[in-house]
């Protein structure tokens, strides 16, 4: 039974504003029925109004009633967000210590945030039974109505407004006249989604490994988290597709998350060909109208499959049955600004709430996930072999100390490329650095051309005749001589632009495609270039990280990796893991079809223990070794981290703030005395100055996540309260993906 409403009944509203906590409001005037959590309300806020989400109701507020303001308007008749999503938002707000109103704003499409309604389908018109029996001769003297009548008469389905536009500008008045006569009626079509193909693909026969995985996942009722650990090309996607099939047949919806650049047209095609059902596709490139339609269709159950990038984890579903996170190790699942959530971690929480299975898939699982599988929290499913006939590529190391490179290319690598091209193979060359050369140095005085706003070098982009900072985007004409001594400048090191020239010189007559952010700025350019590779027109393919995700190049038989050495000595505790993942993912592009592949790796450090384990024993052995190292050093998953970042145009306020932050953190630790909670820093960020701002950080590290979580609310309140916080821009990042 609903409680009787008293004049003081209070609504707790999450209002988009940079303040922790919900805000109390009084019921709107004349509201007689009880409002439910999950509906939107328009509330006065400051001098304006905002749209917020009702999170709860209570009898009284801590504030005196005289200070409470009233809700202006109630925007929804029923909860906009299902229960599980409301709980996810509250939990995420508390876990990441981010204001609930902003969490809510991140989770829903813009139109809804601004107070508009759910997507509606296009208006459509049809004749009423009375209209069907009428004599059209009665319309002889109203030619516009007569023509509209004819169109409706000859259509069995309601005609969308867009089809009536062919009647000219008078159509609307004509239709309304017919409606007024009682001969026609207006309806709404379901919100339009992607067209549904008529036929479905025939799936391949599963390998024994795949079958085992599908059976394990499909017979799970309730929550369980699976780590689908399968080498590249082992048919992980095929496993997802089969499990999705089972859930669709059971009348359930499926949510599939993919990394930012993994949502390729190929992948979508594969889903569309397999499942002739309505699908909602959600990614950052959508127009707001499209996003709202997709979101609405997922919410009302029209869309049976929801596929999207990071923020799709917040998509409401009517009948959820399965969540899949593809390439679960991918860094793009962690939002790096504002509300710094991890979509992968939220997927675990949401699946548990929903009581549905979750599949985390990767050839190179995050070390956290590897540990969760080892400890039994996740169930590990292994696909050890490539699907179809493809075998594993062989890997060769090239010692750059004995084989001096010219323009980045050693003789053994050139010879291998030549052999594969002569053999009608395609070669993929990977270099994760765009531009012509990363360093421009004076031969006279040794001055390096740097960015004025960052502690970083300017990268030479020779084709454009400019130098660019890859950290802040500063861009200016390339200097012709040393700004200090006027001597000659020399370009040191390779970027993809320089490598492209070198490869074109070495292999004239073999068409080459370069794929990096510079060559794919125009819309559709990346697809055009990939198509030239896939069709076999291009023989050589050169590119950055963009190439490593989700792309399938059946004709590539050789992968050349120009240099991974930066990653071997990275400053971040995740550097080694990232390097290993990149290496395995790039190498996995070789020989995916029926031809065996080869991988050639150039390095100055062929004896580096990490490389040795990775190459001789594979990612699993590497992960075990790396986890041991993490345990010794006390890094995650053996500890939980929270990072305070601060920046300002001057150094002093940054450190003044961080010192105060450190003092309050230490005081909290002392008062609460949780053993194993350490406050590290403050310290300058690895690149202290960036885009004209000084940056520093403070790290909280706890052996038990619970201890850290207990401390964070008070710590955040303390941060927001210290006087020095006004002079800096600061943020709190729980489970930071990178320490900078
Ligand atoms: P992953 O997602 O692990 O990279 P995919 O599912 O994309 O692997 O499979 C790699 C290739 O092998 C694809 O071309 C796919 O069509 C094919 N494939 C997958 N499973 C099978 C199978 N059981 N039999 C034959 N081919 C398969
Ligand atoms: Zn810069």
Q: What is the pLDDT of residue 8?
A: 55
Atom of ligand 1 at shortest range from CA of 588: 4
Segments of the chain with pLDDT less than 70? 1-8, 121, 189-199, 389-390, 549-550, 592-594
Instruction: Tell me the residues surrounding ligand 2 (ion) with CB < 5 Å.
Output: 451, 453-454, 469, 471-472, 474
Rounded alpha-carbon distances, angstroms, from residue 437 to 124, 453, 490, 569: 59, 20, 10, 20
**pLDDT tens track for 323-362:** 999 999 999 999 999 999 999 999 999 999 999 999 999 9
Q: What is the pLDDT of residue 33?
A: 76
Q: Is the CB of 210 under 6 A from ligand 1?
A: yes
Does residue 139 fall inside a structural domain? yes
CA-based end-to-end distance of the chain: 53
Using the 3D structure, point to which of 353, 383, 413 is the last residue of a domain. 383
Q: Where are the alpha helices (DSSP H) in 463-564?
A: 496-506, 525-534
Relative to beta strand 10-14, strand 23-26 is antiparallel
Please classify residue 378 by burial: count the beta carbons closer than 10 Å to its beta carbon, then call 0-12 exposed, 13-18 middle and 19+ buried.
Answer: buried
Does residue 455 fall inside a structural domain? no
Q: What is the pLDDT of residue 135?
A: 83
User: Angle at Cα 109 formed by Cα 105 and Cα 114, nearest 5°?
Assistant: 70
Please name the residue whose Cα sits nearest to atom 10 of ligand 1. Answer: 233
Rounded CA separation 531/312 (Å): 28
Rounded CA separation 655/647 (Å): 9
Q: Is the CB of 543 under 6 A from ligand 1?
A: no
> By the 8 A CB rule, do 533 and 547 touch?
no
Relative to beta strand 23-26, strand 69-70 is parallel
| CATH number of residue 46's parent domain | 3.40.1440.60
Does residue 459 fall inside a structural domain? no
Does residue 193 fall inside a structural domain? no
How many domains are there within the chain?
Answer: 5
Does residue 464 fall inside a structural domain? no
Q: Is the CB of 733 under 6 A from ligand 1?
A: no
Joined together, the tokens standing for residue 401 give 């100390």
Mutate to test the pocket of ligand 1, among 238, 385, 551 (most ligand atoms within 8 A of CB): 238
User: Quick one: residue 29, left, alpha or beta (phi over 0 = left, psi -120 to 50 = alpha)?
Assistant: beta
Q: What is the pLDDT of residue 671?
A: 87
- Are residues 180 and 214 both part of a single domain? no
Q: What is the pLDDT of residue 196?
A: 63
Relative to beta strand 439-442, strand 598-603 is unpaired
**Domain range spanning residue 51?**
10-113
Q: Is the CB of 364 under 6 A from ligand 1?
A: no
Q: What is the pLDDT of residue 389?
A: 67
Please name the residue whose Cα sits nearest to atom 4 of ligand 1. Answer: 233
Rounded alpha-carbon distances, angstroms, from residue 10 to 26, 94, 99, 308: 5, 21, 20, 37
Mutate to test the pocket of ligand 1, among 328, 387, 590 (most ligand atoms within 8 A of CB): 387
Rounded alpha-carbon distances, angstroms, from residue 332 to 96, 263, 340, 343, 573: 17, 12, 11, 9, 18
Does residue 478 fall inside a structural domain? no
Q: Is the CB of 84 under 6 A from ligand 1?
A: no
**pLDDT tens track for 15-70:** 999 888 899 999 887 777 788 899 999 999 999 999 999 999 888 888 887 888 99
Using the 3D structure, point to which of 82, 113, 144 is the last residue of a domain. 113
- Are residues 699 and 590 both part of a single domain? no
């Amino acid at each position: 039974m609903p409680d009787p409403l008293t004049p003081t009944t209070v609504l707790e509203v999450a209002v988009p504003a940079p303040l922790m906590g919900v805000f109390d409001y009084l019921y709107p005037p004349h509201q007689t029925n009880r409002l439910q959590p999950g509906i939107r309300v328009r509330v006065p806020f400051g001098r304006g109004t905002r749209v917020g989400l009702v999170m709860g109701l209570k009898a009284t507020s801590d504030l005196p009633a005289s200070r409470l303001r009233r809700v202006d308007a109630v925007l929804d008749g029923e909860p906009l967000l299902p229960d599980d999503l409301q709980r996810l938002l509250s939990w995420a707000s508390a876990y990441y210590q981010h204001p609930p109103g902003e969490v809510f704003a991140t989770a829903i499409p813009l139109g809804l945030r601004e107070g508009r309604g759910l997507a509606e389908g296009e208006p459509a018109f049809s004749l009423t039974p009375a209209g069907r029996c009428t004599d059209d001769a009665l319309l002889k003297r109203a030619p516009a109505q007569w023509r509209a009548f004819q169109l409706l008469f000859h259509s069995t389905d309601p005609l969308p407004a867009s089809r009536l536009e062919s009647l000219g500008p008078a159509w609307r008045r004509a239709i309304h006249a017919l409606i007024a006569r009682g001969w026609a009626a207006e309806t709404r079509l379901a919100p339009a989604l992607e067209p549904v193909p008529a036929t479905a693909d025939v799936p391949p026969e599963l390998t024994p490994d795949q079958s085992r995985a599908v059976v394990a996942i499909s017979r799970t009722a309730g929550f369980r988290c699976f780590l689908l650990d399968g080498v590249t090309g082992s048919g992980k996607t095929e496993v997802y597709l089969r499990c999705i099939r089972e859930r669709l047949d059971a009348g359930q919806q499926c949510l599939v998350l993919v990394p930012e650049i993994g949502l390729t047209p190929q992948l979508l095609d594969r889903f569309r060909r397999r499942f002739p059902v309505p699908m909602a596709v959600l990614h950052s490139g959508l127009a707001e109208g499209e996003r709202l339609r997709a979101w609405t269709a997922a919410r009302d159950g029209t869309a049976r499959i929801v596929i999207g990038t990071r923020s799709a984890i917040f998509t409401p579903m009517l009948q959820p049955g399965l969540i899949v996170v593809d390439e679960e190790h991918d860094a793009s699942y962690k939002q790096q600004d504002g509300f710094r959530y991890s979509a992968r971690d939220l997927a675990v929480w949401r699946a548990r709430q929903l009581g549905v299975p979750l599949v985390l898939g990767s050839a190179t699982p995050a070390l956290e996930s590897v540990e969760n599988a080892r400890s039994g929290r996740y169930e590990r499913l292994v696909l050890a072999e490539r699907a179809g006939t493809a075998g594993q590529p062989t890997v060769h190391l090239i010692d750059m100390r004995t084989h001096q490179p010219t323009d980045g290319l050693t003789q053994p690598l050139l010879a291998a490329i030549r052999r594969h091209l002569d053999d009608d193979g395609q070669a993929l060359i990977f270099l994760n650095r765009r531009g012509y050369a990363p360093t421009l140095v004076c031969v006279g005085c040794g001055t390096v051309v740097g960015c004025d706003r960052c502690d970083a070098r300017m990268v030479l982009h020779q084709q454009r005749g400019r130098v660019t900072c890859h950290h802040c985007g500063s861009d200016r004409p390339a200097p012709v001589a040393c700004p200090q001594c006027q001597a000659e400048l020399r370009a040191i090191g390779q970027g993809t632009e320089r490598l492209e020239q070198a490869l074109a010189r070495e292999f004239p007559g073999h068409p080459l495609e370069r794929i990096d952010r510079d060559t794919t700025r125009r819309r559709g350019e990346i697809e055009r270039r990939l198509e030239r590779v896939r069709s076999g027109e291009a023989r050589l393919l050169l590119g950055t990280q963009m190439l490593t995700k989700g792309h399938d190049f059946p004709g590539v038989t050789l992968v050349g990796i120009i240099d991974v050495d930066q990653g071997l000595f990275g400053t971040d505790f995740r550097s080694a893991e990232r390097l290993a993942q990149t290496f395995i993912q790039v190498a996995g592009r070789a020989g995916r079809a029926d031809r065996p592949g080869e991988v050639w790796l150039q390095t100055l450090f062929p004896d580096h223990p990490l490389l040795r384990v990775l190459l001789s024993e594979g990612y699993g052995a590497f992960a075990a070794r790396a986890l041991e190292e993490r345990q010794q050093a006390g890094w995650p998953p053996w500890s939980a981290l929270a990072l305070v970042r601060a920046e300002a145009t001057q150094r002093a306020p940054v450190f003044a703030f961080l010192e105060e932050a450190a003092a309050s953190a230490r005081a909290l630790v002392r008062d609460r005395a949780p053993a194993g909670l350490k406050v590290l820093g403050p310290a300058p960020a690895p690149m202290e100055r960036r885009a004209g701002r000084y940056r520093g950080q403070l790290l909280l590290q706890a052996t038990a996540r619970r201890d850290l979580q207990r401390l964070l609310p008070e710590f955040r309140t303390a941060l927001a309260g210290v006087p020095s916080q006004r002079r800096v821009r600061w943020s709190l990042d729980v489970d930071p993906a990178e320490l900078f």
